[in-house]
Structure formats: C-alpha cells, structure tokens
Amino acid sequence: MATDLLPGNVGACRSTRHLAALALSFLIGAVSPFCLNAKAAEVVDARGRQVETGPAKRILTLGSDITEILYALDAGDRIVAVDRGSKYPQAAAEKPNVGYRRKLSVEGVAALNPDLIIAAEDIGPAEAVDVLSSLTIPIVYIPEDNSRDGILRKIDLVAAALDLKQPGVNVSHRVTETFDAAAKLTAGIPAEKRRKVVFFHGLVRLTAAGSGTAADAIIRYAGGVNPMAQVVGYKAASEEKLIELAPDVILMMGDGKGGPTADEVFSVPALAATPAAKSKALLVLDGAYMIGFGPRTADAIRDLAKALYPEIEAGN
C-alpha cells in the first residue's frame, strides 16, 4: 500500500534494510553528539526497556494519542513530524508526516533528523523497526491500553520522557476528572434499556470490533452493549450473525469525505435486516477521537453516550 503524500510527507514504503542502513549512516553521527552532551531523562518504556531520552528537542511522534499528549503537555513545539493518523490539534495536521505508522520508511525518518522517537507499540514494518532500533536515536514505546488508567500511564510515561513530570501530573488530574464524569453519565440507565452497538471498520468485509478492542471499550464506557464482545479482536460478521446479534446502533469511523451515510450503510444486505436499519441508527465519529484513548477520550465518551441516550442531555 502506497503511503499518502501529504504536504511535508517525507517517505514512501519501499526501502530495503540494507539501503535503509546506508541512508541512515549520516544520522548516527548527527544525533550522537546531542545524546552524549545532553542531560537525559531515563524511563522504562512499554517493552520494559530502559531508555535515556536525550535532549528531546526534535521529536517524531507515531500515534495520534501520543501526539495529543505532547500538545496537552504544551510540548507540541518540540515535534518535528507525526504519523498520518495525527490530525489533532490543527497544528499537528500541519506538521510533516511519515505516513502510516505501520508502514514506515526508514529514509523518511532519517530525513527528519529526530533526536527522539515516541511510538505506539505497533509501529512497523519489522525491518524498518530493526534498523531504527540499531541507531543511537532513542525510541520510547508507549503502551496500548484502552482504559482510563491506561491513558494515565501513557501521560505519565510521555511526561517522564520529556522531563515534564509536574505538567504530566496536571494533565493526568484533568483527564481523570473529565473521564470519570463522562463515564458516570449513563450509570442510571437500566440494563434492559441499554442499546446494542456494533462498530465496523468498513462496509466491504463488515469487520466488527469484539472484546479487547478500543471500539469495544468506548462502547462500554458510553453505556452501550457490544454484542460482538463474545469474540476477541476484529472478526467479519455474516448476515446471519448480525440478525442474531440484532444491533440497535451501527458505529463507524468517518471516511473524511462526509461519509459513510445511513443510506450507504443500510443498503448493505447484511445490515438492512437489523433493528438499527429500521431507524437508520448510524453514529459516525472521527477515528482518532473515538478510539485513540488519549486526552480527548472523555469528550468522545460524552458525545457517544449522549447520542445513544438523548434523555441524559437534559441533565448534563
């Protein structure tokens, strides 16, 4: 899959490991003096690695949640580039980007000359990660954890890596308050009135989110019931299965073009026979906002909860 070339995009996914190593040879020398002379923070990342972060003045963020955390810590000016999914705040969308974080171009990363990479655990491909790991550029991996405490762990780790512990405490406190308030919105909804919500990645294969996914977590926090939670991860749902699950609401990510629309979704035969189709109950949210599990997740929970249960709007 070709990498989108947005303004400032610095790579395409065609490097071999050998060529990547050659392309990055200059980078080792360029970064090393800074790492040697700076007073580095030291953290243990999501992979259990002890990492000295160096000056952290030219940071590459790989993950929308990570990018948003840096901006929440008022450290956005240190970001030299982001991954394709990092579109919030607007300042992040205007940064150079290295494309999809799971299809990194090592040469693209090299051209940025970062002194620190803060990355989601799922970056790739493996060959590119191996080359990056062999360099002197510190890489801090941030854990994937779709929970309130998981967000707080992300904030704490990023703040420690940037030696911004007090700002990290402040952001964590704010996130805790807003998250808890949002999660309580639907506490009074009785079990028999809770709506069944199925999240789909797209309409071609109808891959639905099961347990252990960020979509499942956001549905639960917003007071919904995910009937696909009986399976782990993402799995294609057949027409027969969807009739059995009988979702009241279909939840999807926006396609960036104003869709998908209810007409598009419920014209799919497998969805046309569901209770959701009768009322064209489709909810569409921005992907990073809905399943990023970062500083804005409380707002996403609130938005989804109020869309599922309009009756709570009057009291909040």
Q: Which two tokens stand for residue 307?
A: 């869309």
Position 202 scores a pLDDT of 84
CATH number of 191-315: 3.40.50.1980
Q: CB-based burial of residue 210 (10 Å sphere; 0-12 exposed, 13-18 middle, 19+ buried)?
A: buried
pLDDT the model gives residue 189: 95
Instruction: List beta partners, residue 251.
Output: 199, 283
Contact indicator for 314, 308 with CB cutoff of 8 Å: no
pLDDT in tens, 248-302: 999 999 888 888 999 999 999 999 999 999 999 999 999 889 999 999 999 999 9
pLDDT of residue 170: 98
Domains 17-179 and 191-315 share a fold: yes
Residue spans of the domains in the chain: they are 17-179, 191-315
- What pLDDT digit, counting tens, does each position of 223-235 carry? 999 999 999 999 9
* Residue where the block lists tokens 């990018």: 67
Residues 6+ apart with CB under 8 A from 91: 71, 76
Contact 203, 264 (CB under 8 A): yes
For the chain, list residues with pLDDT below 50.
Answer: 1-38
Length of the chain in terms of residues written? 316
Single out the residue of 224, 255, 227 nearest to residue 241, CA to CA. 227
pLDDT confidence of residue 185: 96
**CATH number 3.40.50.1970 given to 17-179:** no
